[in-house]
Amino acid sequence: MLNKSMKAALLLLISSTSVVGFPLVQIAEANPLQSYHAASNLPLNNFKSFIESFFSSYLHKPEPSEIYIDDGIQSIYHLNETTDENFESWIDDQYELSFSRILENIGGVGTNLQNVSDGAVIASPSKSNPNYFYQWVRDAAITVNSIVEYLNDNIEDLESSYSKKLFFAIESYIANNHKLQRLDNKSGTWESLDSLGEPKFMPDTTTFDEHWGRPQRDGPGLRVITMINYLNFLKNNDLDVLYPNLIHNASFVYNEILKPDLTYVINKWDKDGFDLWEEIDSIHLFTSLTMLKSLKMGIKLSEAFKDYEFNLRLRTSFTALRLYILLDSGFKVPNIPFLIETPSLVAEAKRCGLDIASILASLRAHDLDDPTDIIDIPFSVDDSSVLSTLAALVTDMKYRYPINHADGTFNKGFAIGRYPEDLYDGLGISEGNPWFIATATSSELLFKLVYYLYYHNKDLVITNDQFSFYSNFISLDPNTKSEKVILPFGSDAFVDTTLSLMKYADAFLEVIQEHVDADGHMSEQFNKYTGYMEGAEDLTWSYGSFWSAVRWRKRAQWEIDHNV
């Protein structure tokens, strides 16, 4: 364990070297970091020297030798020589259909919704067995972020009536959340900001007053990510808000909506809350990592608004939360290769810690077009522990779910569920099933990994702790396991391996193709014995997860086509 002096030193180093770091004097004077510096019993001038010594003494590891492989590497993943035209046609159709069904579940945009406020995103139109006819803060933020991404992908069409409908969906969502924030509810009052931890509301923007797992602390951070992405989109395209009667202007959004949410993150990042599955009251990786991303985005936006005092509070919290994630949280421990979503459950021997939520956290917390995210925010798509999480989920669930038993090879796509110990069947407690969200998320991770490597012209580096993952795709000499294997960007070995990753990602989409119905409907789950859909029908997040995976498939393929 690190003592207080060591933590103080490491805290300063992280702050001073991070992209969002700030001067040493400010760190020493800023609460609560002042106590860390004082605890070190070192003069400020000697503080940095101590840190360097600290790293040298406690964290230095000898660098492994490097082996470069340009060609001659053998892919052990089956690559079809021809493209499956039926699969490609289905991908395109389901991609469009999924986005249209997302819009159908948004008030003021969907054509079959009644008593739903404009901008309210319902989780599902299902009103019984189960009733998901509510607006969840988390689901809504993730959903609307997809609409922002759609506009970003179609900037040549911003004047169309269809784009205007999307602008209305986003800005009415922002206006609706301005109202939701200010509703006193079972999580607390607006005056204390505890109300922002409320997870869900009625479709007509009134409070949900029944018993529930509350508070859930990921909502404000996810809302910040989505809204700042939208403000950035407007700025990058020299646009003002299109519906000022709803949200006035960017300054209004920043001061009246984003600052309260960011203040909540500042105040609550180290407090227990329920996880994204609404089951466990603890500290969770998904919540912590998305909070960290929101703080980083808030730092940059507060600078643009010259809100320097608040900016310092954001920086202080960012540094403290980042240190916590890296050192104290238990999200990554030496003897477990995968990420641990909820460490307290592992400590209490209630679960193994494996959860698709950890991969969701990585995907939602990293902007792959921004290289600083890879530095500032842990567990990006190329991180060995993230890839090991996918590998561990596949290893578990290819045997756990009978519909996966037909082919036991790793490089076939498998139906993936939330976590091994899951008992929720979509209506009650019996046996957990595969989820469309989880299966699509597995695919998206791989597409994003390929995109990241090509977009940033990165060599594919296979370290010791990534060996087991990549050895499922390419033939690697076991004698090189202790070495660092490097496939240079653009080399035959690099291209063959990334194409194998693309095929593996497609295999998860093929699983989804097998289990949607003839009209492309997606529920929450599909039965692990029969494969038929179960749980809430037309789940918004299911459609959004599939749409996002295919979006990154298109982006990754574009990079391949323009680099190979």
Q: Does 337 sit behind a cis peptide bond, omega within 30 degrees of 0 on the bond before it?
A: no
| Residue 517: both structure tokens together | 């119905």
Per the model's pLDDT, the better-predicted residue between 264 and 465 turns out to be: 264
CB 530 within 8 A of CB 541: no
Q: Which of 531, 515, 534 is nearest to 523 (CA)?
A: 534
Q: Exactly one of 278, 370, 534, 537 is catalytic; which is it?
A: 278
Query: Other CB atoms closer than 10 Å to residue 132's CB: what's the count?
Result: 22
Q: Give the model confidence (pLDDT) of 164-196 as tens digits.
A: 999 999 999 999 999 999 999 999 999 999 999
Q: Is the pLDDT of residue 23 over 60?
A: no
Confidence at 46, pLDDT banded by 50, 70, 90: low
Residue with tokens 């409908």: 165
Mean predicted confidence (pLDDT) in 326-337: 95
Confidence at 33, pLDDT banded by 50, 70, 90: very low
Distance, in Å, from the CA atom of 358 to the CA atom of 342, rounded to the nearest integer, reads 9
Residue with tokens 């917390």: 365
Q: Which of 446, 548, 419, 541 is nearest to 503 (CA)?
A: 446
Q: Does 215 sit behind a cis peptide bond, omega within 30 degrees of 0 on the bond before it?
A: yes
Distance, in Å, from the CA atom of 506 to the CA atom of 366, rounded to the nearest integer, reads 22
DSSP percent split of the chain into helix, strand, coil, nearest 5: 55, 5, 40
Distance, in Å, from the CA atom of 10 to the CA atom of 546, rounded to the nearest integer, reads 40
Q: Exactly one of 275, 355, 444, 506 is catalytic; which is it?
A: 275
Backbone angles phi, psi at 143, to 5 degrees: -65, -50
Q: H-type helices in 18-154, by residue range?
A: 24-29, 33-40, 44-54, 85-104, 137-153
Q: Is the pLDDT of residue 48 over 60?
A: no
Classify residue 526 by its DSSP letter: E
Q: Is the pLDDT of residue 275 over 90?
A: yes
Of 50-64, 418-432, 473-487, the range with the lowest mean pLDDT is: 50-64
- CA dihedral (376, 391, 217, 273) in degrees, to 10, reads -130
Q: Which of 415, 356, 408 is nearest to 386 (CA)?
A: 356
Per the model's pLDDT, the better-predicted residue between 313 and 22 turns out to be: 313
Distance, in Å, from the CA atom of 5 to the CA atom of 328, rounded to the nearest integer, reads 14
Q: Residue 538 CA to chain centroid, in angstroms?
A: 22
- The residue type of 308 is Y
Mean predicted confidence (pLDDT) in 28-33: 41
Distance, in Å, from the CA atom of 121 to the CA atom of 103, rounded to the nearest integer, reads 9
User: Quick one: what percent of the chain has pLDDT higher than 70?
Assistant: 85
The reported pLDDT for the residue numbered 29 is 37
Q: Region of 108 please: left (phi>0), alpha (psi -120 to 50) or beta.
A: left
CA atoms within a 13 Å half-sphere pointing along the CA-CB vector of 350:
10
Q: Is the pLDDT of residue 64 over 90?
A: no
Distance, in Å, from the CA atom of 50 to the CA atom of 127, rounded to the nearest integer, reads 60
User: In 403-551, which ranges are E strands?
Assistant: 460-462, 484-487, 525-526, 533-534
| Residue 440: both structure tokens together | 């699509």
Q: Is the pLDDT of residue 26 over 50?
A: no
- Sign of the dihedral defined by the CA atoms of residues 88, 363, 152, 139, in that order: positive
The reported pLDDT for the residue numbered 2 is 52
Q: At what angle do helices 285-304 and 308-323 cross, to 10 degrees?
A: 150
Residue with tokens 């494996």: 354
The reported pLDDT for the residue numbered 471 is 80
The whole-chain average pLDDT of the chain stands at: 90
Q: Is the pLDDT of residue 262 over 90?
A: yes
The reported pLDDT for the residue numbered 17 is 44
Query: Is 275 annotated as catalytic?
Result: yes
Q: Give the model confidence (pLDDT) of 353-410 as tens digits.
A: 999 999 999 999 999 999 999 999 999 999 999 999 999 999 999 999 999 987 666 5
Q: Is the pLDDT of residue 1 over 50?
A: no
Distance, in Å, from the CA atom of 437 to the CA atom of 541, rounded to the nearest integer, reads 7
The reported pLDDT for the residue numbered 49 is 55
Q: Does 32 sit behind a cis peptide bond, omega within 30 degrees of 0 on the bond before it?
A: yes
- The residue type of 198 is E
